[in-house]
Chain A
Amino acid sequence: MRRSPRTRRGWGLWADKNQGYWFILPCFLLLAGVMGFPTVMAILNSFTPIWTKGFQGFTLDYYARLLRDHIFWNSIIKTLYFVGATVALHLGIGFLVALALNTEIRARRFFRVMAILPWTLPDVIVGLVWAWMYDPLSGIVNDFLHRIGLIASPVEWLANPTLVMPSVIIADAWRGYPFVMLVLLAGLQAIPKQLYEAAKVDGASWFQELWHITLPNLKRMIVIATILDIIWQTRRFGLIWVMTQGGPARSTEILSVLAYKNYFKFFNFEYASAMSVAMAIFLLVVGLPYVRMIVRRA
Chain B
Amino acid sequence: MRRKSTRALTYMFLIAILIFNIIPFYWMMVTSFKTDAEAYAIPPTWWPVNPTLYEGYGKVLMWTNFPRHFLNSVIVSLGAALLSTLVGAFAGYGFSRFQFRGRTSLMAVLLASQMLPGVLLVGPYFKMLARLGLYNTYPGLILAFCTLTLPFSAWMLKGFIDTVPQELDEAALIDGCSRVHAFLRVVFPLITPGMVATLIFAFLLAWGDLLWVLCLTSTDSMATVTLGLSRLVTQFRVIWPQLMAGSVIAAFPPMLLYLLLQNYLVKGLTGGAVKE
Q: Which A residues contact B (CB, under 8 angstroms)? A: 4-7, 16-24, 26-28, 30-31, 33-35, 37-39, 41-42, 45, 51, 93, 96-97, 100-101, 103, 105, 111, 113-126, 128-133, 137-140, 143, 146, 174, 179, 182-183, 186-187, 190, 206, 220-221, 224-225, 228, 231, 234-235, 237-238, 241-242, 245, 255-256, 259-260, 263-264, 269, 272-273, 276-277, 279-280, 283-284, 286-288, 290-295, 297-298
Contact = CB atoms under 8 A, between A and B. Distances in A.
Contacts of B67: none
Contact of A273 (B40, B123, B179): B123
Interface stretch (B21-29, B58-66, B190-198): B21-29
Contact of A238 (B121, B210, B269): B210
Interface of B: 6-7, 10-11, 13-14, 17-18, 20-25, 27-28, 31, 39-44, 46, 83, 87-88, 90-91, 93-95, 97-100, 103-104, 106-108, 110-128, 143-144, 146-147, 150-151, 154, 158, 173-174, 176-179, 182-183, 207-211, 214-215, 226, 229-230, 233-234, 240, 243-244, 247, 250-251, 254-255, 258-259, 262, 265-266, 269-276
A260 B215 contact: yes
14 contacts: A27-B87, A28-B91, A28-B106, A30-B87, A103-B7, A105-B14, A129-B28, A179-B265, A263-B122, A277-B120, A280-B117, A286-B115, A292-B108, A294-B111
A129 B14 contact: no
Given A24-B94, A31-B150, A31-B151, A16 B179 contact: yes
Contacts of B173: 6-7
Contacts of A139: 44
A223 B124 CA distance: 33
Name the 10 nearest CB pairs between A and B, nearest first: A20-B98, A23-B94, A122-B208, A27-B91, A238-B210, A41-B124, A38-B124, A120-B258, A276-B120, A24-B94
Contacts of A27: 87-88, 90-91, 94, 110, 150, 154
Contacts of A21: 94, 98, 100
A231 to B, nearest CB: 6
Nearest to B24: A129
Given A138-B42, A263-B122, 17 more contacts: A6-B177, A6-B182, A19-B94, A27-B88, A31-B151, A33-B143, A96-B13, A113-B259, A117-B21, A120-B259, A122-B208, A138-B40, A186-B266, A224-B270, A284-B112, A284-B116, A295-B108
B27 A31 contact: no
